[in-house]
Structure 1
């Protein structure tokens, strides 16, 4: 805390009836960081893996770099080179030193999530400090902005879901949060470098979010300085990126350029639309689910900023640039045919900032009218917290079995629960129609000198392209040989590859959803299986959709019907 900061906070004693406002405004940055980290640690442990892209494009390739085994998508084929190995190595470095000390690969999975929690907590703290400066610069209007940002961030389900995910869009969220924190702190060079790192190392499309950063820089410095800093940042990031990726692929590769060309410039009918096209309403529905009333509040902040401009005849630059960033991203991403929830992750902090600003403006305006209006911002916070909690409970109650069943697989009494497994060198864990809910190879028991555990795919109703496999590697040279290997089965048109499937008689374990007892399942498959665990899983066919999205006490308990994630082992 800067000298004199406490005195400044103490002079700002008006809390407008906001709970814990005085404590939050007077506490130091370390305590704020601890608050953020506490919330993120809950996400570390309880958050699920929601996107198969997270599993097969990031967790599994990282598992391959560490353990020499994992699935591979076509994007990692040297024929296409869309993914960056430097991005994986950035995540590899903080956890690899702990490998000799950990008894379970699952622990390493959660260790990396803990690293995510630390990073996001740090950037959130930086943004809180920047918003605190905004609150102090104009106490008549923005006094409570930092308070609202903290409370909304800590209790928002969208932040819970996004901040511990292993995705470039989440990595971009960290860097965008830091870049916009730098805008509020007037740290010009840091904001430009953060955007450059997000664009080149994580996701090139977040260059859109660099426009407000560029405007902010040019306001204070000549445009030549911006060009110079941008060029230096680009060289510092791009040179090691190209060198490392080209080494792993065995040819010249510029991964961010390749992914940009594939997603934007391809005119051959390929591209992301092969993986689904969604209506415009997709993001509106999704943002309501993850931000509830904050979604419209953040959008309506443009009216609050406009009113503030009319009243003071001056534009709040930082707040306006934050809104511009959010608006540009929504304008571009919402109009693209291929839509996914994770595409909104980079601006999740911006939704929180804009909501906090409008609540601060509205709170100060209403209290000036009459103190009875103090209840309004507290009601907004209460509704947001209640809906976020209801949403989170529904997700965890309905879908937590997607990880619980794989944790069960790693139990010592389960791994060799059938006598014949002791005499098998290769043990196959098979997944069928639920292949896209597989959390990662970190949840497949570790390979030993005697037993080689593998994930295998059974044919199902899905008729697109499933992942292949990296060639297993026992040392660094074999890792490089595998990353340079061109698997001729891969294609970039999402065409089914039947060679990826195994027959049921090749499976030692099956993990899938159904409600069969052992006898019926054995009759259906004509193979002897024994159930080792059944975990309730929301049955979307026989339930009200509202109960899929929100937990409603009593109504949920009385009406929800479950299918089950079943873990079965083959018996002699």
Structure 2
């Protein structure tokens, strides 16, 4: 390991955070520092990735996702990639959600991604396909920053053993591979929620509020639900009424003010996009059930596909923690600042709400993906403590050949559990990732081939070319895969009889014109 001064060292950190919890107060940063120092003094040697190493590993995994992950949801193509193509090139497809009549989506969110792409386009004039992957790499970079911040906070709050387990689950899970570079508000909410949790566990409450506001206002308004436990901690546990109100107002004004100004300009009328989407889906609009209903088991099965046994361990974490409170000494199960029940509350609150919604989609669980990895890691850690406790009891009774030294650490005797959990879950996760690439990457590979036609002289650069889509229109990865703006997307008559996206009107006020007008 390498510290900030560049000197090599092995940090002494208690894997179980054996220091007892103290209730934080309003001005409790000093208490936190004392707690942390006490923890280090009581620590055992434990090798784990430092922040720099973790960042490099996460960034490598996210860049792999940026290059090899397919587009899992046609909403990503037609509600985000297509409008972004329009902002950069002045040409793209528009869905009804961007019609001023509804204005459910925010152009401010698009501009966060479109402005770097536009600068890249103007300076280097790259192929549109390169801009697509440029944006994806930016998403991977943003996700990596959020994840490493989350990882360092997990190490501090739950112990470095839980931290390294959580990191391994994040690196090799198919769920994180899919969600990390998806151009979706739910992925953006995942970044901001991971950062909000990290700030919360370090008692940086203003930052936690800001990240929650950023994810729910600029990203997905329903992500505000994840901030309820943070609000509970501030208002009920800490009695920080003034700070909560003050920073909530500051965050809302900082994020929502520019959004309203930008979106109102683009839609040609006063527009508050987060309110519009809540009003449409919850307060009397057509509602999400319009797009189909799924059984209760949908998320159970989907969670296992994306996280395999990590998902099972995450769901069992309340049971495992209850057993821990009964069988494991308190000094070996405490966290640094918050009880497990409060720290994991956002994940279970989210699941309770979304499991009972009729309309279910894979992307709806994206915001809690890092928390799933954390809950799974906590379960593995507690299982190791329970096994060690059992071994100690058997050793005192002199059963068989078991011999446990009274001074030994639980990790010394139960490392096989950690290695088995990480190895099995990682291999299954990698297998799932390869399966996704092999079986679902064809639409991207196929449309990528279109870029060869102008280079081979099959179509002159100035020719107008129509790319026709039939009943598989939803597999189209977006106009960024077309060679240039002379290539057009057209839909032909098929079995699908619903409302299809239509080209933006190529004029100055194209964003203000309703579909079909």
The bucket for the TM-score relative to the shorter chain is 0.7 to 0.9
Q: Residue 375 of structure 1: which of 398, 411, 416 is its match?
A: 416
Residue ranges of structure 1 left out of the alignment (5+ in a row): 15-20, 136-141, 490-572
Pick aligned residue for 1:290 from 269, 288, 306: 306
For 1:297-341, what per-residue CA distance to the aligned partner results, in whole angstroms no more than 9, with x for missing partners? 001111233344444299752532232101110011111111110
Structure 2: distance between partners of 1:279 and 1:13 = 40
- Paired residues for 1:238-257 under 5 Å: 238-257=256-275
Change (3 A) 1:401 1:63: same
Whole-angstrom distance in 1 between the partners of 2:383 and 2:5: 31
Q: What does 1:113-262 align with in structure 2 at a 5 Å threshold? A: 113-135=136-158, 142=159, 144-218=161-235, 219-220=237-238, 222-262=240-280
Q: Which residue of 1 aligns with 2:39?
A: none
Which region of structure 1 is more displaced relative to structure 2, 402-411 or 86-95? 86-95
- For the Cα contact (< 8 Å) 1:322–1:350, is it kept in 2? no
Q: Deviations over 1:123-147 (max 9, x none)?
A: 1111111111124xxxxxx451111
Alignment of 1:519-530 (within 5 A): none
CA distance in 2, matches of 1:318, 1:113: 36
- TM-score, normalised to structure 1's length? 0.76
Aligned match of 1:471:
505
Q: Is the 8 Å Cα contact of residues 283 and 341 (structure 1) preserved in structure 2? A: yes
Partners in 2 of 1:110 and 1:8 — Cα distance?
38
| Alignment partner, residue 437 of structure 2 | 396
Q: Does 1:9 align with 2:37?
A: no
* Aligned position for 1:324: 345
Task: Please give the TM-score of this superposition, normalised by the length of structure 2.
Answer: 0.84
1:405 aligns with one of 446, 461, 465: 446
Q: Deviations over 1:434-459 (max 9, x none)?
A: 10011111011212xxxx21000111
Write out per-residue CA displacement over residues 162-197 of structure 1, whole angstroms, 9 at most, x where no aligned residue.
Answer: 000000000000001101111222211111000001
Q: Which string of whole-angstrom CA distances, capped at 9 and with x for unpartnered residues, describes residues 451-508 of structure 1?
A: x2100011111121111111124xxxx2xx101112236xxxxxxxxxxxxxxxxxxx
| CA positional deviation for 1:98 | 1.1
Unaligned segments of structure 2, at least 5 residues:
17-43, 392-411
In structure 2, the partner of 1:549 is none
Task: Specify the alignment match of 1:439 in structure 2.
Answer: 477
Higher relative contact order (CA 8 A, sep 6+): 2
Query: Are positions 1:55 and 2:93 aligned together?
Result: no
Query: Structure 1 stretch 331-340 or stretch 88-97: which is displaced more?
Result: 88-97
Q: Please give the root-mean-square deviation of Cα atoms over the aligned residues, in Å.
A: 2.5
User: C-alpha displacement at 1:290, in angstroms?
Assistant: 0.3
Structure 1 segments of 4+ aligned residues over 6 angstroms from their partners = 2-8
Residues 332-372 of structure 1 show CA distances to partners (whole Å, capped at 9, x for unaligned) of 11111111100010000110111111112222332354466
Give the one of 284, 292, 311 matched to 1:276: 292
Q: Distance in 2 between matches of 1:108 and 1:423?
A: 19
Match of 2:88 in 1: 66
Instruction: Say which SS state the counterpart of residue 265 (structure 1) adopts.
Output: coil
Map 1:95-114 → 2, pairs under 5 A: 95-99=117-121, 100-114=123-137
Shift of 1:296: 1.4
- Closer/same/farther in 2, CA of residues 29 and 143 from structure 1, 3 Å limit: closer
Q: Is the 8 A contact 2:12 2:46 kept in 1?
A: no
Flag the 1:210–1:13 CA change in 2: closer, same or farther, 3 A.
closer
